[in-house]
Amino acid sequence: MPIEIKQYKKENTIIISKLFPKDWNFDFEKFISLHIDQNYFIGFTLSANNEPIGFGNLMIFGEVGWIGNIVVKKTFRGKGLGTSITNHLIETGENAGVKTFNLIATELGKSVYKNMGFRTELNYEFYKPSESFKKFEITRNIGVASKADFQKIIDLDFTVTREKRNKFIELFLSGTKLIYNSTGKLKGFFIENLENGLIIANESGYGLELLKVKLNNNGHSLVIPETNLSAKDFLVKNGYKNYINAPRMILGKKYNWKSESVFSRGAGYCG
């Protein structure tokens, strides 16, 4: 049976959405509606006899690309199709000037990506409360972002991630929480609407304060890089337990980003 890789089309959304495992808790229809028409987004469908049987996407943020949401219909797994669509995404990214590819691997995909040349950079640690939920006292002033804050958010995000993702962040700006120091310099932000809720701060005290805001609003789960020792220490001291890890893997040129400044991961498809 011939397998084709085709540019993703909106009419395949319902079929593709049913391919994702339930434990991913992934709203594919919402994801596609947000990103499909953005210039940083590229999606492809695996098809057999014109029936969609798989999907994968690439987000391009300057010279950095994120591969995500690689899925293959259960009856077609074990045939190398996940590798095929990943290679197609890499080739597409390279043609667009991408020098580094990132992804966060599932347990199923980890060995596949390793065989393709991806290497583990660090692990993301998943935490959940082991005791009854509690509220944290907020001791610093937390503001809400306006359009006037956008460039400062972008500048801080680039300083930490080294990724040019202006338009991507702009989609989620509404409701974003900010924390400034006494001299009016932006020290951190919490993009609450970006999947898990992205928190970036360039000093631990400000990052932990935004982390408290997130936990007060939704204290059931959190994902952080293993290198953020201040966040890890705070979570453990307050009864949170690390219950699973997932590797962040890289292919291509290594670049210097500040993982210790990420206090909450946004999503698996963008870090």
Reported as a single tens digit per residue, the pLDDT across 28-64 is: 999 999 999 999 999 999 999 889 999 999 999 999 9
Q: What is the chain's mean pLDDT, rounded?
A: 94
pLDDT at 81: 92
Pick left, alpha or beta for residue 36 (phi over 0 → left; psi -120 to 50 → alpha; otherwise beta). Answer: alpha
Q: Where does the pLDDT of residue 131 fall: very low under 50, low under 70, confident under 90, or very high at 90 and above?
A: confident
pLDDT at 109: 85
pLDDT at 1: 66
pLDDT at 218: 78
pLDDT at 4: 92
Distance CA 1, CA 81 (A): 13
pLDDT at 134: 77
Give bridge partners of residue 81 from the DSSP assignment. none
Supply the pTM of this predicted model: 0.94
Concatenate the DSSP letters of all residues of 56-125 into one string.
EEEEEETTEEEEEEEEE-GGGTTSSHHHHHHHHHHHHHHHTT--EEEEE--TTTHHHHHHTT-EEEEEEE
Strands 3-7 and 119-129: unpaired
- The continuous run of DSSP H or E covering 180 comes out as strand 177-180
pLDDT at 197: 95
| Residue 199 near residue 212, CB atoms below 8 Å | no
Cα–Cα nearest to 205, from 145, 140, 142: 140
Reported as a single tens digit per residue, the pLDDT across 197-242 is: 999 999 999 999 999 999 998 767 899 999 999 999 999 999 999 9
Whether the per-residue pLDDT at 262 is higher than 90: the answer is yes
Q: Where does the pLDDT of residue 24 fall: very low under 50, low under 70, confident under 90, or very high at 90 and above?
A: confident
Reported as a single tens digit per residue, the pLDDT across 89-104 is: 999 999 999 999 999 9
Q: What are the structural domains, with CATH classification, of the chain?
A: 3-98 (3.40.630.30), 127-264 (3.40.630.90)
Q: What's the mean pLDDT in 136-160?
A: 95
Reported as a single tens digit per residue, the pLDDT across 102-124 is: 999 988 789 999 999 999 999 99
Whether the per-residue pLDDT at 25 is higher than 90: the answer is no
| Residue written as token pair 């310099």 | 185
Ranking 72-86, 155-169, 252-266 by mean pLDDT, the lowest is 72-86
